[in-house]
Amino acid sequence: MRTISVKAPAKINLTLDVLGKRPDGYHEVEMVMTTVDLADRLELTVLDSDEIRIQSEHAYVPNDHRNLAYRAAELLRERFNIQQGVEIVLDKQIPVAAGLAGGSSDAAATLRGMNELFSLNLSLEELAELGAEIGSDVSFCVIGGTAIARGRGEQLEMIPAPPPCYVVLGKPKLGVSTADVYRAVRMDEVDHPNTSAMVEAIRQKDFHGICENLGNSLESVTLKLHPEVNQIKETMRHCGAEGVLMSGSGPTVFALIEHEQKAHRVYNGLKGFCPEVFVVRILGKRH
């Protein structure tokens, strides 16, 4: 029995700029994304039958074709005429519907894992291209590290990692549907982050420059729908976090913090009322 274990790290958006609505219904975006060391773990096993089986203990994670990992397995089986099936055991650590790309990262890890398991010999770039057929964030999750993502998120320009720092993640009880948030965007009201200033700060390893240039066009939209997200932002700031922003379409908020002691102060400040809180680090390297 062939089994492989693969890690699927979460991502955060240091910037997310919504540039406009496209005729195909997607929004044109420009985002700076980086992976953090909060990860789901997937165990993939080759099956003799031709099924795709998903096992997860998480109540809100579907175990059929609605699961992005299932779709990744299905895509590779069809495209490369793979006769055998695969069982995917998902150990979810990334909060669900959180703005951390958990589902996309599971799909990306499935592509990387099956590439090895079935000796497909595809490059990460080839896998990222396939990933775009599953979802806009899957391409980035295939490669990992730090990148500027354009188009609907699938066009990647890799950039160096930000300087090492602590990241405190706080997710309120609610889940957010990315589609609902994009539907509520009014282009004439959008705030645009300064992406090139962010990229320059990253290249210069300028931690304070990074904190000053954090920006997310979707933040005000999600805050209007779910004002309680603001309480997490305010608590993080009050506890001394240097940079605070909502990730993706939310509702997870992250704080960037230089020193460990302060990271724990922010963690403790949130622990009372925020159900899911994590202290993690930025993962610098691509897969």
175 DSSP assignment: -
d(CA 91, CA 47): 19
d(CA 214, CA 245): 7
- Taking the complex as a whole, the smallest distance from the CB of residue 136 to ligand ATP amounts, in Å, to 7
3-state secondary structure string, 199-265? Answer: HHHHHCCCHHHHHHCCEECCHHHHHHHCCCHHHHHHHHHHCCCCEEEECCCCCCEEEEECCHHHHHH
Residue 82's alpha-carbon distances to 38, 79, 85, 134, 192, in angstroms, are 31, 8, 8, 18, 45
Residue of 9, 99, 172, 269 interacting with ligand ATP (CB under 6 A): 99
Residue span binding ligand ATP (CB under 6 A) among the ranges 29-37, 103-111, 124-132, 235-243? 103-111
Residue 87, token pair as written in the block:
């069982």
- Taking the complex as a whole, the smallest distance from the CB of residue 287 to ligand ATP amounts, in Å, to 17
- Taking the complex as a whole, the smallest distance from the CB of residue 177 to ligand ATP amounts, in Å, to 7
Residue of 73, 101, 124, 156 interacting with ligand ATP (CB under 6 A): 101
- Taking the complex as a whole, the smallest distance from the CB of residue 31 to ligand ATP amounts, in Å, to 11
Query: 87, 81 in Cβ contact below 8 A?
Result: no
Cβ-closest position to ligand ATP: 103
Q: Environment class of residue 1 by beta-carbon count within 10 Å: exposed (0-12), middle (13-18) or buried (19+)?
A: exposed
Active site residue 262: no
248 contacts ligand ATP (rule: CB under 6 A): yes
Residue 47 among known ligand-binding residues? no
Q: Which of residues 122-161 bind ligand ATP (CB under 6 A)?
A: 137
- One DSSP character per residue, 29-83 reads EEEEEEEEEEEEEEEEEEESSS-EEEEE--TTS-SSTTSHHHHHHHHHHHHTT--
Active site residue 21: no
Residue span binding ligand ATP (CB under 6 A) among the ranges 26-34, 62-70, 214-222, 270-278? 62-70
The single residue of 40, 92, 137, 171 carrying the catalytic annotation is 137
Give me the 105-124 binding string for ligand ATP, x by CB under 6 A, dash otherwise: -x------------------
Nearer to ligand ATP, 15 or 178 (CB): 178
- Taking the complex as a whole, the smallest distance from the CB of residue 135 to ligand ATP amounts, in Å, to 7
**Could you give the residue numbers annotated as active site?**
11, 137
- Binding-site members are 95-105
Q: Which parts of this chain interact with ligand ATP (CB under 6 A)?
A: 60-62, 66-69, 96-104, 106, 137, 178, 248-249
